[in-house]
Structures are given as C-alpha cells and as structure tokens.
Amino acid sequence: METLSQNKSHGGTQGVYRHASLVTGTDMTFSVYVPEHVRGTRLPVLWYLSGLTCTHANVTDKGEYRRACAEQGVILVAPDTSPRGEGVPDDEAYDFGQGAGFYVDATEARWASHFHMRAYLEQELPALVAAEFPADMERQGITGHSMGGHGALTIALRNPDRFRSVSAFAPIVAPSVVPWGEKALTGYLGPDRSNWRAYDACALILDGARVPELLVDVGDADQFLHEQLRPELLRAACDAAEIDLTLRLQPGYDHSYYFISSFMADHIAWHAERLKA
C-alpha cells in the first residue's frame, strides 16, 4: 500500500492511499480518516460509497465528516467507484463505465476483466483496511450517496452479519426499474433480469434479505427524486418486510454535496450509537 498523502485534521489523520488490486487488476485509490486514539485501540469503521462520476476525493473534499468522526471515534473509509487506468474499458456517457461501477461484479465480456467492485468492497479492501489501520472489523457500518447509496443498501442486505448499521443519502433503491439502473445492469450483467436481483435493494428485501433498520435521507428538491431514486419503493418493501425504515424527505435540498454535508454528522452519530452498543 502506497501513501499518497496524509494530513492532520481535528486531531486525527486524513490519508489517501493506493494499492494494486488483484480483484480489479488495476491500481485502486481510497481515503481513510482515522481519529486520534489511544495506541492499541481498535475503532469502529464506517464505509462511505460515492455516486456516479465520483472518486474517493468528492466526499473527502466536500463531505464535512472529519469533526463528527473525531468526536464519535469512528474511522471513515471512502473507496473509488470503479477501476480506472490504461486498458480499463470506458464509455462516453457519465452513467456507465469508469466512475460508474454500480458496485457489481460484471459478467459481460467487455467489463468482466476489471469491473468487480462487489468483490473489491466485500473482500479485498476490507482485508487491507483490517491489516493496515486500527479498525475493529467486528463493528462496521456502511453508508453512501446515490449510486453509492444503492451500493451501501445492497452490500448490507447481502452481508447482514457484517454490518451493524446502514444508511444512505438519496439512494437508487430499485435500479431494476429506473433508467440509470436498467442501463448499468444490462451493460454489466446482461439482459437476464434474474441476475440483477442481487444488486437491487427492493428485490433483495422481497427475496428475504433483512437488516434491522435503515436510515435514509432524500431532498425533496432532488432533481432525480421521481425518475431515478423512487424512495417510495423502498418504503413499500420495508413495510412489507417489517424493516424499521426512517425515511426523511428533507425540504429544499437537492442531490449535491451541499445536501450530503448538511446531514453527514447526523448520520455519523446515528451509526456511532449502533457501532458502540
């Protein structure tokens, strides 16, 4: 693992790191904030998954999470959204290819060599974080924004014993039935919709996946609310499955990091309460 930068912030260390991923076959960059702590202490971990077009840098630069993480004693890990680099396939559209990995393991020929973000986040990167940072992997939470909210929900639903808490900002809750998701899942997984269900939070819940509770914030001025996000579908799925969903429609907020940063500390405190229990 190569250290690209380290800066002191709120008593802790904000680092950016790069490593050669065997899963994606590329170098992968990610950021980690580690609060100040007593040497030898293991801290709970909160994963943050970013949205379309983003890298680790978007939330690292604009997420305004470090003070809250320092106060709560929580490590925050922010990975990239896709493999990148020479030889990695791409698409000219913003919502497919590099920067738009959708947290799947691709099976279609063009993408299958590198686009394995599910395996990267469920297996490889957690092992690296456990080895290199003072992370208590028995106390993990996960959150994310938009495409990353989709990733957080689906990863948690597939791994309920690993995550004590899960939340999301403006998530794509049912990618199988919205334009962003239909495009990505067809492109990465092929046209057989039965193969998409493992990457659709509402479908996973319908198929029996469970977590105890969810926290979701969405802005009521979000330009993607009605076509791409469809939070009412998650409400219906959770009601049917008796999952405790706190769904907050925040008045006046859009899809941007102005929205995310406004509620980031609230989400971190919510996760910390569950990670420290």
Q: What is the pLDDT of residues 50-102, one digit of tens each?
A: 999 999 999 999 999 999 999 999 999 999 999 999 999 999 999 999 999 99
Active site residue 255: yes
d(CA 148, CA 115): 15
pLDDT band at 277 (very low <50, low <70, confident <90, very high): confident
- Cβ pair 37, 24 in contact under 8 A: no
Residue 224: per-residue pLDDT: 98
pLDDT digits (tens, 9 = 90+) for 104-158: 999 999 999 999 999 999 999 999 999 999 999 999 999 999 999 999 999 999 9
Q: Where are the domains of the chain?
A: 2-275
Residue 188: per-residue pLDDT: 98
pLDDT digits (tens, 9 = 90+) for 27-52: 999 999 999 999 999 999 999 999 99
Active-site residue identified among 150, 255, 267, 271:
255
Active site residue 226: no
- Name the pTM for this structure: 0.98
Answer yes or no: CATH 2.60.40.1120 is held by domain 2-275: no
pLDDT digits (tens, 9 = 90+) for 185-207: 999 999 999 999 999 999 999 99
Active-site residue identified among 95, 200, 217, 222:
222
- Cβ pair 198, 204 in contact under 8 A: yes
Active site residue 145: no
Active-site residue identified among 31, 82, 146, 167:
146
